[in-house]
Structure 1
Amino acid sequence: MRKTKKELQRYVNELCELAQQLFPGAKVRVKPPYETEDADIIVELPSDWRGGTARQRDILIRRKLDILMETGYDILVFIEKPNRRKVSGDGTKKAKTKAAR
């Protein structure tokens, strides 16, 4: 199966839009892939996030897995909860993330 950057970008955009719909107010960004995956998406929940994430996460992961099965694109999605971010010595917040594989 031949992969193209344009097609990959379309699926990344789709997942980013879905994440923003599922997690209103979240900051969604794409970063270069770490190892063998095709793309990494980071969903940073807002600091005032008080809702659960299980249902939304399941919807997002289900679509991510559909894309993997249909196209072979391995797009990793990280969801950062506000209480999972820790403050480092210089005052910046570093995230402890859980990846959705």
Structure 2
Amino acid sequence: MRRSKRKLKHYINELCSMARQLFPGAKVRVKKPYETEDADIIVELPINWKGKTARKLDLLIQRKLDILIETGYDIVVFVEKPNRRKDGGNKARKAKTSATR
């Protein structure tokens, strides 16, 4: 299967656009991939995020897997949930991150 940078960019843009639609207000960025990956997409949810994440994440994962099966492109998507504050904001728990492979 012949793979091109142009096609890869198309799929990266598609997933980024989908992430912005599913998670309004999120910061979406593309990182340099590790080792055998073709791309890493980071979706940082806004600090005031109160929406349901699981179903939306499932939709994003399904499209990412469809792209992998159809084209062989390994595009990793990380969804970073905002930090949760406790004790009046004096102590912050580590942000939870969901990654799809």
TM-score, with length taken from structure 1? 0.86
User: What 5-or-longer segments of structure 1 have no aligned partner?
Assistant: 85-93
Partner of 1:18: 18
What secondary structure does 1:18 align onto? helix
Q: How many correspondences in the alignment? A: 92
- Aligned ranges 1:1-101 → 2 under 5 Å: 1-83=1-83, 97-101=97-101
Cα RMSD of the aligned pairs, angstroms, is 1.4
Post-superposition Cα deviations, 1:74-98, rounded to whole Å, max 9, x if no partner, equal 00000000027xxxxxxxxx85533
Shift, 1:67, TM fit: 0.3
Q: Distance in 2 between matches of 1:49 and 1:62?
A: 22
Q: Give the number of the structure whose alpha-carbon radius of gyration is greater.
A: 2
**What is the CA distance between 1:35 and its match in structure 2?**
1.7
Offset from partner CA, 1:38-84 (integer Å, 9 cap, x none): 00000000000011200100000000000000000000000000027
1: CA distance between counterparts of 2:95 and 2:38? 22
Which secondary structure state, in structure 1, belongs to the residue aligned with residue 83 of structure 2?
Answer: helix
Misfit runs of 4+, over 3 Å: none
Structure 2 portions without partners, runs of 5+: 85-93
